[in-house]
């Protein structure tokens, strides 16, 4: 049984570094506005693409760039410009949905991965797209048994992509899921004139709604007011079954989420995959992993569609349900590598003490998470620190000047 690769989201440079440091095999990100997180992530640019790709490759991580929006005629020149840059920069694959992008990427010799936006849900569709693509991201609405059958069909029917290798099957394992069929929702366009299929989803489904009888004005109660806001996908408790299904790649949604989310999700699933491989995947570990995953942004956890949708798996509220929150507390002034000590300028109205958890986040650092042992001011141990203090403390991991310093508090 082959261990799946981990494909982590990178909606910013900080998240990219966090994903790499956490041990992902591949990262995916968008360039400009032609991706499904055009308005929900920082995204990268053509200008820094080569530098970003080189950094990832230096660290043994492959790069997939999303160019997966539906296109209008006016978009074609920009799409070609992005694909040309992908071809020249050594990007490992483009994740695409529109046939025009697929055709042009194929002409330019760029490896193609079919986006979940195309809702590939059966083997016959997969065989059609195998002429263009070496990897298929299956529709998120499939049950696990359907995923397993498609994986089996790839082997039994010897379905190969342009490289001559068996088609890789990629599935989403964690993160936000849509109440509609992926790539088929028009609600944002209807409500805000912003197309969800062009990376501009206004997430109208996440809002609070009431159902009213227009004749009487009477309000009807239906479960809760967030009847279209699906809980997040979390497969940590059924990961062994997903591995058994034969998938090649586990993908995490989250390009619009912060670095601490990317770091924790990547590390946790990597640990779980290792435990499965070693025969140490236990109920006790699953309970702890679920608890850990609950500390970062989430809308509640569910098995998505894999086991058949349960009607009570809704967000039940506006915003996240994380059990931890970060509070800005200052900036790194200096890091002393020989003695492994960091100097922090405390900012904001905060007060903290020995034993508190903290995060340090930066474009080159990614994310560092630790606990205070001793806090020093002017080389003297203190029990707490507050705004205006300059503190130092031991830190094994290198951080950099101007990195952001946060307290990692209970929510």
State the SS3 of 84-101: HHHHHHCCCEEEECCHHH
Q: Is the pLDDT of residue 193 over 90?
A: no
* Rounded-to-integer distance, Cα 343 and Cα 250, Å: 38
Beta strand ranges found along 55-129 (DSSP E): 62-67, 93-96, 112-114
pLDDT at 37: 65
Confidence of residue 223 (pLDDT cuts 50, 70, 90): low
- The two three-digit tokens of residue 16, written as one number: 């990219």
User: Smallest Cα–Cα separation from 6: which of 279, 280, 370, 263?
Assistant: 263
Per-residue model confidence as pLDDT tens digits over 322-371: 999 999 999 999 999 999 999 999 997 777 888 889 999 999 999 999 99
Mean pLDDT of 142-163: 98
402 φ/ψ angles, rounded to the nearest 5 degrees: 75, 5
Helix (H), strand (E) at residue 334: strand 324-336
Domain boundaries, the chain: 5-178+229-302, 324-410
Confidence of residue 225 (pLDDT cuts 50, 70, 90): confident
Q: What is the DSSP code (8-state) at residue 167?
A: P
Q: Is the pLDDT of residue 315 over 90?
A: no
3-state helix, strand, coil in the chain (%, to 5): 30, 25, 45
The domain covering 324-410 belongs, at the CATH homologous superfamily level, to Translation factors (2.40.30.10)
Mean pLDDT of 4-21: 97
pLDDT at 157: 98
Helix 76-89 with 49-58: angle, nearest 10 deg: 40
Lowest mean pLDDT among 124-133, 171-180, 242-251, 282-291: 171-180
pLDDT at 95: 98
CATH class given for the domain over 5-178+229-302: alpha beta
User: Smallest Cα–Cα separation from 308: which of 138, 119, 122, 144?
Assistant: 144
* Rounded-to-integer distance, Cα 178 and Cα 292, Å: 23
- The two three-digit tokens of residue 337, written as one number: 């590598």
Per-residue model confidence as pLDDT tens digits over 365-390: 999 999 988 899 999 999 888 899 99
* Percent of the chain whose predicted confidence (pLDDT) is above 70: 93
* Rounded-to-integer distance, Cα 116 and Cα 28, Å: 14
Gyration radius of the chain over CA positions: 23
165 φ/ψ angles, rounded to the nearest 5 degrees: -100, 160
Predicted structure pTM score = 0.89
Confidence of residue 317 (pLDDT cuts 50, 70, 90): low
User: Smallest Cα–Cα separation from 362: which of 10, 11, 15, 8?
Assistant: 15
* Rounded-to-integer distance, Cα 157 and Cα 151, Å: 10
Where b means 16+ CB within 10 Å and e means fewer, 326-343 reads beebbbbbebeeeeeebb
pLDDT at 314: 65
Mean pLDDT of 70-89: 96
* Percent of the chain whose predicted confidence (pLDDT) is above 90: 71
Average pLDDT, the chain: 91
Q: List 296's β-bridge partners, or say none.
A: none
Classified as helix, coil or strand, 198 is helix
pLDDT at 39: 57
């Amino acid at each position: 049984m082959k261990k799946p690769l981990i494909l982590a989201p990178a909606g910013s440079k900080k998240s990219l570094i966090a994903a790499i440091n956490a041990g992902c095999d591949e990262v995916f990100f968008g360039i400009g506005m032609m991706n499904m997180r055009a308005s929900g992530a920082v995204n990268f640019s053509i200008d820094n693409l080569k530098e970003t790709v080189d950094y990832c490759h230096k660290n043994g991580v492959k790069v997939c760039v999303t160019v997966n929006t539906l296109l209008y005629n006016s978009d074609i020149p920009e799409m070609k410009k992005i694909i040309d840059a992908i071809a020249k920069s050594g990007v490992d694959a483009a994740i695409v949905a529109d046939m025009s992008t697929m055709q042009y990427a194929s002409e330019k010799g760029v490896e193609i991965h079919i986006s979940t936006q195309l809702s590939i849900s059966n083997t016959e569709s997969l065989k059609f797209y195998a002429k263009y693509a070496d990897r298929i991201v299956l529709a998120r609405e499939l049950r696990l048994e359907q995923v397993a059958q498609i994986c089996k069909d790839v082997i039994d029917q010897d379905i190969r992509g342009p490289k001559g290798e068996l088609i890789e099957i990629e599935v989403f394992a964690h993160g936000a899921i849509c109440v509609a069929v992926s790539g088929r929702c028009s609600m944002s366009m209807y409500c805000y004139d912003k197309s969800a299929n062009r990376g501009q989803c206004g997430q109208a489904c996440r809002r609070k709604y009431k159902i009213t009888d227009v004749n009487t004005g009477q309000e009807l109660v239906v479960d809760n007011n967030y009847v279209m806001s699906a809980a997040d996908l979390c497969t940590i408790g059924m990961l062994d079954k997903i591995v058994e299904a034969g998938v090649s790649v586990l993908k995490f949604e989250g390009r619009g989420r912060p670095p601490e989310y990317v770091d924790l999700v990547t590390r946790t699933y990597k640990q779980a995959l290792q435990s499965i491989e070693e025969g140490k995947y236990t109920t006790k570990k699953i309970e702890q992993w679920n608890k850990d995953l609950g500390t970062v942004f989430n809308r509640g956890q569910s098995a998505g569609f894999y086991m058949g949708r349960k009607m009570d798996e809704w967000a039940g509220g506006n915003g996240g349900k994380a059990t931890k929150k970060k509070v800005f507390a200052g900036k790194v002034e200096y890091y002393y590598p020989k003695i492994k000590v960091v100097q922090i300028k405390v900012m904001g109205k905060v007060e903290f003490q020995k034993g508190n958890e903290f995060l340090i986040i930066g474009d080159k650092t990614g994310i560092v998470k630790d606990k205070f042992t001793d806090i020093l001011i002017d080389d003297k141990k203190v029990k707490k620190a507050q705004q205006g203090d300059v503190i130092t403390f031991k830190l094994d991991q290198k951080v950099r000047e101007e990195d952001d310093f946060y307290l990692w508090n209970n929510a």
